[in-house]
Each structure stands twice: as structure tokens, then as C-alpha cells.
Amino acid sequence: MSLTELISGVEAHEKTLTVYNTDGDTVGELRERFADRNLVVESGTVETGPDRFVVLGHEGEFLTAVGIDELLARSGSERAGFGGDPYRPILDHLDETLFTSYGHREMLAASREIEDRAWRVGRGELHAGFQRLSTLRTQLDVYNALARRDGLAIHTYAIPDVEAPQGADFSVHLDESDEVASVWCVAFDGGGTDRKKCALLAEERSPRAFYGFWTYDPDTVDYVIDHLSSTYARPDTG
């Protein structure tokens, strides 16, 4: 399964956020907050139970519930990427929910979250697909700094639209495949700890408009890294 097929598989699993016992303005605000996610926001009413709460579900299956005020307070800064602690109501269940139409700035912000985590852990492997080598060249300082962490191995992937950089302290894997050209990805293997694993995977479907997801699921992160390593990380490059 290719990386684009993995994105399409996530896209097919649309979730529903049902907003109970509140006004239309609040429903509209939540629709706006999650407008860039593969998520349906609808309203509902129940006579018993707490006031003003939301339920997240998928194909009729209950996933989680939380108070509206808590959700509004915690979701305001999440649009650009991962944010802080991923393990919290609603937002953690949006892990592996497709985001839509992220621009370059939002993708860069989300990528920085993974790069920062790899830096803090200081060991393991970080894999990053830049689509084009010219894009990678703009990030040389960042990736050379990451590569200087003794326990951290860095692998990057791109199509060769310019000459390869000289003196890079990390592995550069060049390939002219459509997948490398269209997919922006950053994946960290957690340095031996499953709960530290994370990945961002997105496809550029129109110029500077990215569709994809981020994930903390260890199996999904492992799949992304294994696919990149086995398909593009040739031993004679770097």
C-alpha cells in the first residue's frame, strides 16, 4: 500500500460530532473550528443528561464525549498541527482524521512539532519527505542541527530538481517517483518508545493545498517509516 493509498483509507473513515443541548451559534462555531477536518458536525437534543456536551462517533459507534465549554477552550489552537498533549478527549480521537486544504505554513508548523519531539528525545530515527530537493535545501540548518544529536539518525527524501546539497550531515535519498513528488511526510520512530512515535502524512492535491493526517498510532508510524525505508532508502545514498 502506497502512502497516498494510506491517506485515502483515512479519508474514507469520516467521523461525526453531535452537539447536544445548545444553540445554533455554538454548532456553527464548532463547524468552523473543524472545517478543515473530515468531520460532520450536527446538532442534537436529549432531555436527560448533562447540559451542552458533544459526542464523537464513527458509523454509529460511540468514541468519546466531552463538555462543549471544555472542547471550545482546548480546540482553539489545534488547527496548525499537533499542539501539546495529544491524549485528551475528542482531539485525541481526531488522530488519523483527514485534514483538508492545509497550506505551506500550517504544514511547516505541524512538521516542527515532530522535529521538536525528535530533538527532545535525542535518539531514534526521523524520516522526512520534502517532495523537492529545492525545498530540502531551505531546511538544511534545521536538519543539520537535528543530525548532530548523536543518537538521532535523519533520513530525507526528495526528487532531484536541483543539485544535491554539499556537506549535509544526514542521509538524502533521491527518487523521481510520483509518490515522492506529491507527498509531504515527517515521521519519528519514538527512539524506542511507542508513546513518542508520531507522523504527519499529506498529499499535495493542488498547488500548496495539502490533504492528509497526523497520527500517534505506533503501527501506523511504523508502516510509514518501513515503507519509506524499504522503497527509497537505498544504502548507496546519503
Contact 124, 192 (CB under 8 A): yes
pLDDT value of residue 114: 93
Contact 42, 20 (CB under 8 A): no
CA-based Rg of the chain, rounded to a whole angstrom?
A: 19
Contact 238, 222 (CB under 8 A): no
112, 114, 132, 213 from 136: Cα distances, Å: 14, 16, 7, 21
pLDDT value of residue 38: 78
Contact 76, 69 (CB under 8 A): no
pLDDT in tens, the chain (238 residues): 999 999 988 887 788 899 998 888 889 988 888 877 778 899 998 877 678 898 988 888 888 888 888 777 765 444 434 444 433 456 666 767 778 878 988 899 889 989 999 999 999 999 999 999 999 999 999 999 999 999 999 999 999 999 988 878 999 999 999 999 999 999 999 999 999 999 999 999 999 899 999 888 899 999 999 999 999 986 544 4
**Close Cβ partners of 16 (under 8 Å, ≥ 6 residues apart):** 39, 40, 41, 42, 56, 57, 58
pLDDT value of residue 180: 97
Q: Cell numbers 530515527 correspond to what residue?
A: 125
pLDDT value of residue 93: 67
CATH 3.40.30 fits 3-94, yes or no: yes
pLDDT value of residue 48: 73
pLDDT value of residue 182: 97
- Looking at CATH, the fold of the domain delimited by 99-232 is given as Endonuclease; Chain A (3.30.870)
- If DSSP codes are grouped into helix, strand and coil, which group holds residue 167? coil
pTM for the whole thing? 0.78
- If DSSP codes are grouped into helix, strand and coil, which group holds residue 221? helix
Domain boundaries, the chain: 3-94, 99-232
